[in-house]
Amino acid sequence: MKFVDEFRDADLIKKTAEEIRRLAGTTRHYRFMEVCGGHTHAIYRFGLKDILPENIELIHGPGCPVCVLPMGRIDDGLALAADDHVIFAAFGDMMRVPGTHGSPLEYKARGTDVRIVYSPSDALKLARINPDRHVMFFAIGFETTAPSTALTIMRARAEGIHNFSVFCNHVTIIPAIRAILDSPDMRLDAFIGPGHVSTVIGCRPYEWIAKDERKPIVVSGFEPLDILQAIVMILRQMRAGEAKVENQYKRVVPWEGNRAALRAMGEVFQLRPYFEWRGLGFISQSALRIRDSYAEWDAEQRFQVPGVRVTDPKAAQCGEVLKGVLKPVQCKLFGKECTPEHPLGALMVSSEGSCAAYFNYEHRKAMATSLSRSA
């Protein structure tokens, strides 16, 4: 496949891995955080941990939008869908995420009209072909998906489609990175920057990480070679005693970002004063709401939202895992009460969540190896 296979070239990958080994040496330990859930997934899927030297530890960051969504928001969204008049539309990512009384998929099995859509404009299409129903799009995601939600709301207004609204859960990545860096128990050497988010926001918003926090950050693509190259770039900076923002994903990410997308977001959204993140707690100015000028398409302004707050089970240590303080397997519930089939904590829900990725791709391998060692 064009534009994919080039970045999975086995020879180049082996050479890059050797370069990493050479640059990393053996005398010190490195802790790099990959911010984006897409990176976490790719690292496990391609078995990159097996290729990296042992002294490079990858810490999985907060960039999984499904994982950081508090359960109360899901309950709120599904409460609105209880009305027979309403069609609840969301990405496939959301479908297995549990609310207090089940996931959207379980609601669907019990009769709620839940539809999987592949884009917000598909949800708008549903509204067009079901004029006597109300379609509510449950929007999730970072700056990657927020522009398409904004454009869809603008189109709904332009076309005069009134049986459509958005339950907005869009969040922004920079405050989450700041929250992690502000955490006292956090020790990170550098960041692998989020590729998709950066196609929209560009690379400038990360400059404070390099300048003020003195930590290298390299925006990276999602193929194995992308991620390994980003690690090479980080190690080169560290050897030179530098801390810069660099862009490994130039084929997709413009330094200045996507102005049209940012304009659409600015037109439709404004920052919420604060928003609750699952595992991280309340973070100020970390999420988007729909502006009053588009109130008609804002489910939260249009309907009575219960405003449910649900605390995570006390024993779940999602926050520590999310901040990289604990590894998934160090959480007391991991693989016992909390599994991908019965996720208690957020990170077990999406295949991009670090716990689910670790469970699906690594955990059994590790268990089987330790069993065979003890046998």
Partner 1 sequence: MAHGAGGKASRRLVEGLFAPLLFGSSAEPLTDSARVLVDRTSVAVTTDSFVVSPLSFPGGSIGELAINGTVNDLAVSGARPEAIVVTFILEAGLPASVLESEVRAMADAARRANVKVVGGDTKVVEHGKADLMYVTATGIGSPIPALTIDPRSVRAGDKVLLSGPVGDHGITILLARGELDIEAELRSDTRSVYPFVEAISGAAGAAIRWMRDPTRGGVATSLNELARDCGLGIYLEEEELPVHDEVRGACELLGLDPLHIANEGQCIAIVAAEYADVALAAIHQTPGGGDARIIGEVREQPAATVLVGTRYGGTRVIDMLVGDPLPRIC
Of 278 and 363, which CB lies nearer to partner 1 in the complex structure?
363
**Shortest distance, position 243 Cβ to partner 1, whole Å:** 29
- Binding partner 1 (rule: CB under 8 A), the pick from 27, 28, 54, 118 is 118
Nearest approach in angstroms of CB 80 to partner 1 is 20
The correct pick among 167, 249, 277, 361 for binding partner 1 (CB under 8 A) is 361
- CB closer to partner 1, 223 vs 246: 223
| 341 near partner 1, judged by CB under 8 A | yes
296 burial level (CB within 10 Å; 0-12, 13-18, 19+): middle
CA-to-CA distance for 237 and 246, rounded, in angstroms? 10
Q: Does the protein bind partner 1 through residue 129 (CB under 8 A)?
A: no
Which pair of tokens denotes residue 253? 């990410």
163 binds partner 1 (CB under 8 A): no
Q: What is the rounded distance in angstroms from the CA atom of residue 195 to the CA atom of residue 203? A: 10
Length of the chain: 375
Check residue 141 for interaction with partner 1 (CB under 8 A).
yes
Question: Rule CB under 8 A: which of 197-226 touch partner 1?
Answer: 224
SS3 annotation, the chain: CCCCHHHHCHHHHHHHHHHHHHHHCCCCCEEEEEEEHHHHHHHHHCCHHHHCCCCEEEEEEEECCCCCCCHHHHHHHHHHHCCCCEEEEECHHHCCCCECCECHHHHHHCCCCEEECCCHHHHHHHHHHCCCCEEEEEECCCCCCHHHHHHHHHHHHHHCCCCEEEEECCECHHHHHHHHHHCCCCCCCEEEECHHHHHHHCCHHHHHHHHCCCCCEEECCCCHHHHHHHHHHHHHHHHCCCCCEEECCCCCCCCCCCHHHHHHHHHHEEECCEEEECCCEEEECCEEEECHHHHHHEHHHHCCCCCCCCCCCCCCCHHHHHCCCCCHHHCCCECCCECCCCCCCHHHCCCCCHHHHHHHHHHHHHHHHHHHHHC
Q: Considering the rule CB under 8 A, would residue 45 count as an interface residue with partner 1?
A: yes
How near is the Cβ of 140 to partner 1 at its closest, in Å?
6
Token couple for 108: 């669907």
48 counts as binding partner 1 under rule CB under 8 A: yes
Q: Does 352 bind partner 1 (CB under 8 A)?
A: yes
Q: Taking the complex as a whole, how short is the minimal distance between the CB of residue 210 and partner 1, in angstroms?
A: 27
Residue 163: half-sphere exposure toward Cβ, Cα within 13 Å:
15
- Count residues binding partner 1 (CB under 8 A): 54
In the list 4, 27, 111, 304, the residue contacting partner 1 (rule: CB under 8 A) is 4
Contact status: 13 vs partner 1 (CB under 8 A): yes
Tell me how far, at minimum, the Cβ of 250 lies from partner 1, in Å.
Answer: 21
Residues in 268-307 that interact with partner 1 by CB under 8 A: none
Q: Kindly write out the interface string for residues 88-107 of this chain, putting x where it contacts partner 1 by CB under 8 A and - elsewhere.
A: ---xxx-xx--------xx-
Among the listed ranges 39-47, 283-291, 293-301, 304-312, the one in contact with partner 1 (CB under 8 A) is: 39-47
Q: Please select the residue that binds partner 1; options are 240, 295, 315, 368, rule is CB under 8 A.
A: 368
The answer to the question of residue 371 lying near partner 1 (CB under 8 A) is: yes
Kindly indicate which of the ranges 135-143, 182-190, 235-243, 309-317 contains the residues binding partner 1, using the contact rule CB under 8 A.
Answer: 135-143
CB of 370 to partner 1, least distance (A): 10
What token pair was written down for 301?
Answer: 């302004």
Contact between 235 and partner 1 by CB under 8 A: the answer reads no
Binding interface with partner 1 (CB under 8 A): 1, 4, 8, 10, 13-14, 17, 41, 44-51, 65-66, 91-93, 95-96, 105-106, 108-109, 116-119, 122, 140-142, 144-145, 224, 340-341, 350-352, 360-365, 367-369, 371-372
